[in-house]
Structure 1
Amino acid sequence: MLKRLAWSFLPLVVIIALPLIFRKPSEKIDLSADQLVIVSPHNEAIRYEFEQGFREYYHRLTGRKVSIDWRATGGTSEIARYVSSAFEANFRDYWINELKREWNDDVARAFMNRRIKPDDKNYEARKIFLESDIGIGIDLFFGGGQYDLNKQAQAGTLLAIGAADPKSTFYLGNQKGELFAALDEEARKRTYPMPEPGKNPALYDELFGGDQPNLVQAMGGETWYDKEDRYYGICFSSFGICVNLDRMEKLGYDVSSGYPLKAWKDLADPRLFRQIGIADPSKSGSINKCFEMIIQRQMQDTYARLKGEGEALDEAVIMDTAWLEALSLVKRVGANALYLTLSASKVPVDTASGQIAAGMCIDFYGRSQADWEEAHVGRRTMTYYTPDAGSSVSVDPVGIFRGSPNPERARLFVRYLLSREGQLLWNRRVGVEGGPRKYGLHRLPVRRDCYSAEDRKLMSAPEADPFGLAGVFTYRGDWTGRYFDLIRTLTRVMVIDCQNELQSSWKAILNAGGPEAVPEAYQEFCRLPFEYAEAPEAAKSLASPESATVTTRNWAIFFRKSYGRAAELARQGNSRK
């Protein structure tokens, strides 16, 4: 009996034991080394390569060891929520226990509110926060989009780095600081080399000197570093379409060029119904940027078309129409989804394996997955394409948090990221001089001087031209940039929360012969709960959790009814044929 019982438990023991036996040993933090705490949405490959590179850089300059404590709390959106929550908790503790003040909702809303005016009765909370050294035990925010880092900067959670000032401690060190004091004379000269009299530090001139500085502040409508020195773009990002060539050929596409989908609107093709993957924009800043690019491109196309028709239309009418057509495109793309996922990286992985035919992704996910698949399959089965004049070139920045526990080390980390040595890691091939040790990163550096003919020979994407790409598409931040959060939430509700109804209505329209065959049904399908002119009020309604809950619930009711009516009209139109 006992022997039989033991045999019955054996599979359970094996299932529990195998992961423990074969798991990779986790890297322990060396507590004897100088510490640096970084929160980042970057993947393991990026974290590994930059930690190894910075350790070497730091030891060469200071003669000391450094260990990075990575905090990976999710995607950029989730990190931003965590950071805001942590700052609120710590400022609340300071307000109550140090200042002996009463905490209330007015204080909570005021202290990180960039729009609050000095004459507001709650401005004192904002003033106290900005003059404080309240922190969250983390040194740097590394990665994520410019939009999210800019929001952090405006809230007051990021401080000036010092790179814009040639006389700052960024270049010359803090003579009263802990790190400066710990260095011997030779290490000080290496770490904080003094410029010749009357000249700027060499790195400052590298970054900002000359008629064409290596760091460009803005281009194509996108901001690449903060004028107030609170964050700097470290690598470029663009957004596009990944496709599985075998799946696309079976669907009837010509794949001879390798790029059967070259425009965002191609993702709305009826042939792709239930063939593409969609990630949740509320969980991923990069996916929300993809949706914003779809909206931007379509709005610009509609705007140009209506302006070119010669009819004197009111500007507000043109913008309302452009907004309606852009979001209708987003709906059609969303209706073609086979599945919805929380992970932005799942879409290119599933495209490569052939589980889906196509999807949207950030450039480096698409390029790296395509290269990996080709290396393992032995032929090109997946490609990535940035739509022609369809994507801005944005940046993934870095910023130093208010109350950073290790501010001098944090500045050295930013120096490393902006140095040519750090920049070359992004796109050099594994194993070449100056390249990554283990993982190809497939990102593009922000410094102009990393794209010379000699550099391109060692790059994984030698054809890449982010400066040229930025020049052919002008991002209208005044159109959609200020509504980035609104787009995130609206897209989630109308595409993800109402996916079943969206897909049913689109299928009914397609079965009836398409939008042209049942225009009334398509008009109902395209309806929105607010026009572009009403977007400021819609964005405002998402400002607090309470009002956001009410607003999103009302939107969901609106879209479900709209999609239901569209499906019914399409079926009626189909039955009359």
Structure 2
Amino acid sequence: MRLKLAGMASLLALTTALAGCGASDSGSGDSAQGGKKEKLTLYTPNGAEINNPIIKEFQDRTGIEVEMISGGTGDLLKRVQAEASSPQGDVFWAGGADSLEAYSKYFEPYRTAEYDSLLPQYTDKNDIYTPFAALPMIIMYNKDLVKAGEEPKGWADLTDPKWKGKIAYADPSKSGSSFTQLATFLTAFGKEDGKGWEFVKKFYQNLDGKILSGSGLVYKSVADKEFALGVTMEEAAERYIMGGANVGIIYPSEGTSSVPDAAALIKGAKHPDAAKKFIDFLVGKDVQELIGKEFNRRSVRKDATPLQGLPQSDEIKLLDYDFAWAASNKTDIIGRFQNIVTGVE
């Protein structure tokens, strides 16, 4: 069965389609006995343009009613942590995999039925998370504010004084993608010898005190000409390009990361069977084809159709991003960044 969605017009028309799917569950399991529908509570930092068509299709296919709780990756992960003794959510979808790994004790291992079809570089050997899409980190720029030929070529150019106060960047304590970007900076310039932090300090100084509260504000503010540059995800910038915005993408010359965002089963979930069905659905071939065709997101499947209009994965210079290091050191990395922001360091 193929997704019944064709074209961006159909997708955008669904952005208010979930108004009736937020009922809370008073049952104790996934059974639909006694006329009760199966339910699923989903914690998600995704934008509505991605969530709504995928969730609607899942509901239509399965009859499972989805309650969606939205927020930033950091805030939602803290919520999962706070609710550990009595979980209120079933699935976390789709913060950066390194952020989910950092909270692995609050997730239940699950190996999706689609596992053998997934690209091995994105899967988790411990099955804490299931990858959803690979997300190269890039520099987005507004072509009305950046003259042709003056575009930055790499991360290092973000410390050029001419960009002071003109760079959009989200708070890494709230945004999973922003944390990945921070860890990418450290990897690019030296996470062991301190040179990475020297770059981060200069980068922060060039932000001129402007840190945005969420990753969605980064690409929106660049498209709206509030900032000339933004550090963001490839797919977010590409969506604006597809929509006609006068923006462009720069793949940093030093190299970048391509960490997947992911889904994870919350430990102690009240609806584990529905949660597993949803995770399997996300990495099924038709959903993975949809995210490539409609959102230009890079699929995590071996059999995915290559993206059109974007460099192929082997054409992007990638850093040796140490996923385990980023996950295990997340608290310390964010803490040190906050010290730089507050002037302690």
TM-score under structure 1 length normalisation: 0.51
Conservation of the 8 A alpha-carbon contact between 2:187 and 2:319: no
Aligned partner of 1:334 in structure 2 is 204
Aligned partner of 2:19 in structure 1 is 27
Aligned partner of 2:29 in structure 1 is none
Matches within 5 A, 1:188-207: 207=115
Is 1:47 aligned to 2:51, yes or no?
A: yes
Count of residues in Structure 1 that have an aligned counterpart in Structure 2: 317
Aligned partner of 2:107 in structure 1 is 158
Question: How far apart are the structure 1 equivalents of 2:57 and 2:161?
Answer: 47
Deviations 1:106-147 (A, max 9, x none): xxxxxxxxxxxxxxxxxxxxxxxxxxxxx5132111111112
Matches within 5 A, 1:459-478: 461-466=308-313, 469=316, 472-477=318-323
Question: How far apart are the structure 2 equivalents of 1:25 and 1:299?
Answer: 46
Matches within 5 A, 1:107-186: 135-153=86-104, 155=105, 157-163=106-112
Change (3 A) 1:448 1:487: same
Displacement, 1:401? 1.8
**Alignment equivalent of 1:71, drawn from 69, 72, 92:** 69
Whichever residue aligns with residue 326 of structure 1, its letter is G
Conservation of the 8 A alpha-carbon contact between 1:352 and 1:370: no
Is 1:423 aligned to 2:278, yes or no?
A: no
Aligned partner of 2:234 in structure 1 is 363
Displacement, 1:282? 1.3
Whichever residue aligns with residue 342 of structure 2, its letter is D
Change (3 A) 1:389 1:447: farther
Whichever residue aligns with residue 240 of structure 1, its letter is I
SS in 1 for 2:103: helix
More helix by share: 1
Aligned partner of 2:159 in structure 1 is 268
Change (3 A) 1:480 1:29: closer
Matches within 5 A, 1:304-453: 319-320=192-193, 323=194, 325-338=195-208, 339-374=210-245, 381-429=246-294, 441-452=295-306
**Alignment equivalent of 1:217, drawn from 110, 114, 120:** 120
Change (3 A) 1:469 1:484: farther
Whichever residue aligns with residue 217 of structure 1, its letter is P
Question: How far apart are the structure 1 equivalents of 2:165 and 2:93?
Answer: 36
Change (3 A) 1:442 1:489: farther
Question: How far apart are the structure 1 equivalents of 2:324 and 2:300?
Answer: 24
Displacement, 1:84? 0.8
SS in 2 for 1:336: helix
Change (3 A) 1:347 1:30: closer
Question: How far apart are the structure 2 equivalents of 1:428 and 1:478?
Answer: 31
The answer for unaligned runs of 5 or more in structure 2 is 1-15, 24-35
Deviations 1:139-179 (A, max 9, x none): 111111112222333x1x2223243xxxxxx5xxxxxxxxx
Question: How far apart are the structure 2 equivalents of 1:69 and 1:294?
Answer: 36
Deviations 1:349-398 (A, max 9, x none): 22122222112112222222233343xxxxxx211222135212111111
TM-score under structure 2 length normalisation: 0.83
Larger Rg: 1
Conservation of the 8 A alpha-carbon contact between 2:22 and 2:68: no
Change (3 A) 1:421 1:85: same
Between 1 and 2, higher relative CO (CA 8 Å, sep ≥ 6) is seen in: 2
Deviations 1:211-261 (A, max 9, x none): xxx41232xxxxx22212232101111111111122122xxx625xxxx22
SS in 2 for 1:426: helix
SS in 1 for 2:214: coil
Change (3 A) 1:426 1:161: same
Question: How far apart are the structure 1 equivalents of 2:164 and 2:315?
Answer: 34
Question: How far apart are the structure 2 equivalents of 1:86 and 1:480?
Answer: 24
| CA RMSD across the alignment | 2.4
Displacement, 1:25? 9.0
More strand by share: 2
Change (3 A) 1:137 1:367: same
Change (3 A) 1:70 1:262: same
SS in 2 for 1:143: strand
Whichever residue aligns with residue 161 of structure 1, its letter is Y
Displacement, 1:479? 6.0
The answer for unaligned runs of 5 or more in structure 1 is 1-23, 59-64, 91-134, 164-169, 171-202, 209-213, 219-223, 301-318, 375-380, 430-440, 499-555, 560-577
Conservation of the 8 A alpha-carbon contact between 2:18 and 2:56: no
Is 1:228 aligned to 2:126, yes or no?
A: yes
Aligned partner of 2:80 in structure 1 is 83
